[in-house]
Structure 1
Amino acid sequence: MTALRVDARCHCGAVHIRATLPEGLQDVARCDCSFCRRRGAAAVTALAADLEVVKGAENLTLYSFGTHTAQHHFCKTCGIYTHITGGGPTRRNAGSIWAVSTGSIRAITSRSAGRTG
């Protein structure tokens, strides 16, 4: 598997992150915790060392609950979920495995994923 470098942004453009996905888009997953089930967003694995907030770190807010292992980051302006720190959708190696919301990755659209509706 070839790693994939991606740019991800919130809707308003205030937050821009860059990450390397070690498995490319092959490990897209949905976490089954109570928060992620309601949010419905899929995420893809990124290593902590390979995720960088390029712009807008001051515009991020976070939500965590329960054990507070995973921290869900959102843009304060538009509310878009951009990434998770402290754990990814599979919750393995929580300190080193983070995740990027597939909805914020610029190269992914519903059309590129084969959906047009």
Structure 2
Amino acid sequence: MLTTYHGSCHCGAVTFEADLDLTQHSYRCNCSICRRTRFWPAIAKPKHFRLLTGESELTQYLFNTKKNHHYFCKRCGVRCFGVGNDTPIGKMYGVNLGCLTDVSDEVLENTPIVYVDGLHDNWQNAPTFYRHL
């Protein structure tokens, strides 16, 4: 069931809301950027993500295939969300669960996690080691 959650970067310049079902899978990935930023996304379709403030405070980082867009707050450096443009479900938003301001620790504790081996482009399988993610 979709619930509307609110979120922000650390300094509050970027705010958003997203309709998420946190009984569904979230993701942890070992690729170079997710591992370094400890990004923990849940998936929202475009109609379920709304950037409320701070569009001008975002900076975009593209690498490799440039299909995924990584957004960071220019002020505090927090990665609130990213946009996947070439995924099995089409365009989607990866909403960083660590940026949600109105989700309980209990809900986060119970959100299922799928571990993916993005480092080796083996997206259908977990990496050999993943507990550190």
Q: TM-score, normalised by structure 2?
A: 0.72
Which structure 1 residue ranges, 5 or more long, are not aligned?
none
- The aligned runs of 1:89-104 (5 Å cut-off) are 91-95=87-91, 97-104=92-99
1:39, distance to aligned residue in structure 2 (A): 1.7
What's the RMSD between the two structures over aligned residues?
2.0
Match in the other structure for 1:33: 31
User: 2-side partners of 1:15 and 1:77: how far apart?
Assistant: 10
Q: Which runs of 5+ in 2 are unaligned?
A: 110-133
Greater radius of gyration (CA): 2
Quick one: percent identity of the two aligned structures?
30
Residue 105 in structure 1 maps to residue 100 in structure 2? yes
The answer to which structure has the higher helix fraction is 2
Asked if the contact 2:44/2:94 (under 8 Å) is kept, the reply is yes
Q: CA deviation at 1:69?
A: 1.1
For residue 68 of structure 1, give the secondary structure of its aligned residue in structure 2: coil
1:103 CA displacement: 0.9
Distance 2:68 2:55 in 1: 18
Match of 2:11 in 1: 12
Q: How many residues align?
A: 108
TM-score under structure 1 normalisation?
0.80
The 1:25–1:39 alpha-carbon spacing in structure 2 relative to 1, beyond 3 Å, is farther
Please tell me whether the aligned partners of residues 5 and 103 of structure 2 are also in contact (alpha carbons under 8 angstroms). Answer: no
